[in-house]
Amino acid sequence: MSINLEVPKKFGLLVNQAHQVATEVFRPISRKYDQAEHEYPKELDMLAAVIDGMNDGGEGGTGARGVRRDSSDEPGTGNRNGTNMSSVLSIMEACWGDVALVLSMPRQGLGDAAIASVANDEQLARFGKLWASMAITEPGFGSDSAAVSTTAVKDGDEYVLNGEKIYVTSGERADLVVVWASLDPSKGRAAIKSFVVERSNPGLKLVRVNHKLGIRASDTADFVLEDCRVPKEDLLGDPEIKTGGGFAGAMQTFDNTRPLVAAMAVGLTRACIEETRRLFGEAGLEEDNDTPIALQPAAAAELLSMEADWEAARLLTLQAAWMADNRKPNSLQASMAKAKAGRTCTDVALRCVRLCGAVGYGETELLEKWARDAKILDIFEGTQQIQLLIIARQLLGKSSAELR
């Protein structure tokens, strides 16, 4: 069996367009909105409209809405490169430009990916064109999503949500918030479901917008839910508590969104490597691919080593996306891609700053900004540590109770 690792021809135009946006739109305003934290980048409105038009015109797969799995074919009946792959490829290019601006794109939030992943057709028709953030983390937990303490109590035709959510990406600006809550805390993770809550809901109260180390152009909000009433039709996935089914629809979201976050890290890693190579070139230092690493200058050898790590992260990410397109279980591969890409990105970004010395540390170049932006990519959608734990459980065949 042969594997073609080039970009599929049908996605060539999309990738080129994403690179042009990264070069001509994101890079020129990157520093501006990093310094103007919490100021909404108006330049993104036009791009969001273009992406909406591409999705509506049948050129879907651009961004968060592209992660919906196609149910038209049975698993294993063909080799597909579909919307998950095109989403990953376009996000890699866009995040080569600026991660924070990609996270600030209207209607491209992780909540949109959650809706695309598990919503039924009726819900997708109602919510699919709105901007949705995703609220999982609470003051009492970060990576252990099973520890959700926000509750959802059925009351007639509504659910009543109570709890607190923190670090909600795009929480202030979004139209909707996808809130994870438990139908019955005594039943553990099986009772955790996700609910679509309108941002205007009076029971969803904004507490603060946070100041952050990186991705400063993207707003990150904290909320309190006080007797927040949500129609029963706005629960995503199966409303039944199935103790043998884990998180059901809620957890399925991660299988599609973790490759997207890995793609963000892959794009930013490439930006760091290419910028460092450019600065090396200005200083008269170049790698020689025909010479063994041990015989090259230490800085050139380190750059080649970082590039190898980047390539491994990229291939893992493409594998996870390909499996989603081909309706294959990819929880293991999604976590492997997220773990490798997140760690590689933070490592490479800091090493590039160090290799470039004063130039890398100053604000004349974007390397110092990228080093700050990189850290979140190893944290959200499950930290490095939780990804390694998930990988170990799957490889060893252990449950969460057996391997903690």
Tokens of 214: 């990186």
What is the tens place of the pLDDT at every residue in 331-358? Answer: 999 999 999 999 999 999 999 999 999 9
User: What gap in Å lies between CA 296 and CA 288, rounded to an integer?
Assistant: 7
C-beta atoms surrounding 15 within 10 Å? 17
Residue-range domains of the chain with CATH: 9-127 (1.10.540.10), 132-236 (2.40.110.10), 249-396 (1.20.140.10)
User: What gap in Å lies between CA 112 and CA 50, rounded to an integer?
Assistant: 17
Q: At 161, which helix (H) or strand (E)?
A: strand 158-169
Q: What local confidence, expressed as pLDDT, does residue 246 receive?
A: 47
What 3-state DSSP class applies to 153? strand
Q: What local confidence, expressed as pLDDT, does residue 244 receive?
A: 59
Q: What local confidence, expressed as pLDDT, does residue 41 receive?
A: 96
Q: What local confidence, expressed as pLDDT, does residue 2 receive?
A: 53
User: What gap in Å lies between CA 257 and CA 88, rounded to an integer?
Assistant: 10
| Lowest mean pLDDT across 35-39, 149-153, 185-189 | 185-189
Q: Are the C-beta atoms of 233 and 313 separated by less than 8 Å? A: no
Confidence at 52, pLDDT banded by 50, 70, 90? confident
Q: Which residues pair with 132 in a beta bridge?
A: 176
Q: Where are the beta strands (DSSP E) in 247-298?
A: none
- Residues serving a catalytic function are 381
Name the residue with tokens 């819900």.
Answer: 123
In the chain, the amino acid numbered 256 is N
Please state, rounded to an integer, the average pLDDT across all residues of the chain. 90
Average pLDDT in the 130-147 region? 88
- Whether the pLDDT of residue 259 is over 80: the answer is yes
Q: What local confidence, expressed as pLDDT, does residue 35 receive?
A: 97
- Whether the pLDDT of residue 29 is over 90: the answer is yes
Which one has a higher pLDDT value, 71 or 318? 318
Residues with Cβ within 8 Å of residue 159, at least 6 apart in sequence: 152, 153, 181, 195, 229, 230, 231, 232, 235
- Whether the pLDDT of residue 58 is over 80: the answer is no
Q: Which residues pair with 177 in a beta bridge?
A: 133, 197
Q: What local confidence, expressed as pLDDT, does residue 67 receive?
A: 67
Q: Are the C-beta atoms of 123 and 238 separated by less than 8 Å? A: no
Average pLDDT in the 72-101 region? 84
Confidence at 113, pLDDT banded by 50, 70, 90? confident
Tokens of 207: 């507490």
DSSP readout, 366-404? SHHHHHHHHGGGGTTTS-HHHHHHHHHHHHHT--TTT--
Confidence at 64, pLDDT banded by 50, 70, 90? low
Q: Are the C-beta atoms of 373 and 99 separated by less than 8 Å? A: yes
Contacts of range 202-208, beta carbons closer than 8 Å, 24 or more positions apart: 202/228, 203/161, 203/227, 203/228, 203/229, 204/177, 204/228, 206/171, 206/172, 207/164
Residues with Cβ within 8 Å of residue 276, at least 6 apart in sequence: 303, 352, 355, 356, 360, 367
Confidence at 190, pLDDT banded by 50, 70, 90? confident
In the chain, the amino acid numbered 393 is R
What is the tens place of the pLDDT at every residue in 282-326? Answer: 999 988 888 998 899 999 999 999 999 999 999 999 999 999 999
Q: Are the C-beta atoms of 67 and 55 separated by less than 8 Å? A: no
What is the tens place of the pLDDT at every residue in 197-248? Answer: 999 999 999 999 999 999 999 999 999 999 999 999 999 988 988 775 545 5
Q: What local confidence, expressed as pLDDT, does residue 117 receive?
A: 85
Strand pairing report for 204-209 and 220-231: antiparallel
Q: What local confidence, expressed as pLDDT, does residue 245 receive?
A: 52
Confidence at 107, pLDDT banded by 50, 70, 90? confident
Q: What local confidence, expressed as pLDDT, does residue 298 receive?
A: 95
| Lowest mean pLDDT across 54-68, 94-108, 338-352 | 54-68
